[in-house]
């Protein structure tokens, strides 16, 4: 049994109530086929996943960076200091972005 399988089995046993989510990096998708078997780099971890309209994230710093750039010109944030702005965006993420804890299986990172 591969190390990847062992790690996934361990995480499922330790966290039986968490959903499984799969993060397949698009560089690994050949759009000519409807179904593919992926081999190669696989990682498994327990993480909070975040979902925007066009993307999913399994790294809080990444969604924070993206939304800090995306929302920078919004009127409600224009007069905030950098520290206040970051705090406001963290609150925005917590209050407005769908998220939950899951076992994340990433393929091809």
DSSP string, the chain: --HHHHHHHHHHHH-TTSPEEEEE-GGG--TT-S-----S-EEEEEEEEEE-SS-EES-HHHHHHHHHHHTTT-GGGTT--HHHHHHHHHHHHHHHSEEEEEEEEEE--
Domain that holds residue 82: 3-107
pLDDT of residue 67: 96
Q: Is the pLDDT of residue 88 over 90?
A: yes
Q: How many domains does the chain have?
A: 1
Q: Is the pLDDT of residue 99 over 90?
A: yes
pLDDT of residue 1: 47
Per-residue model confidence as pLDDT tens digits over 12-67: 999 999 999 988 776 656 666 666 666 666 789 999 999 999 889 999 999 999 99
Q: Which two three-digit tokens encode residue 16?
A: 């039986």
Enter the pTM of the model.
Answer: 0.80
pLDDT of residue 62: 96
pLDDT of residue 31: 62
The larger pLDDT score, comparing residue 3 to residue 58, is at: 58
pLDDT of residue 51: 96
In the beta sheet, which residues pair with residue 56? 51
């Amino acid at each position: 049994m591969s190390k990847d399988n062992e790690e996934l089995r361990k995480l499922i046993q330790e966290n039986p109530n968490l959903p499984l989510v799969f993060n397949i990096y698009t560089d690994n998708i050949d759009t000519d086929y409807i179904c593919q078997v992926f081999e190669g780099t696989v990682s498994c971890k327990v993480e909070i996943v975040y979902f925007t309209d066009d993307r999913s994230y399994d790294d809080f710093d990444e969604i924070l960076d993206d939304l800090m750039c995306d929302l920078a010109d919004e009127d409600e944030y224009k007069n905030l200091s950098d520290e206040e702005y970051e705090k406001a965006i963290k609150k925005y993420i917590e209050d407005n972005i769908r998220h939950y804890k899951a076992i994340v299986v990433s393929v091809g990172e």
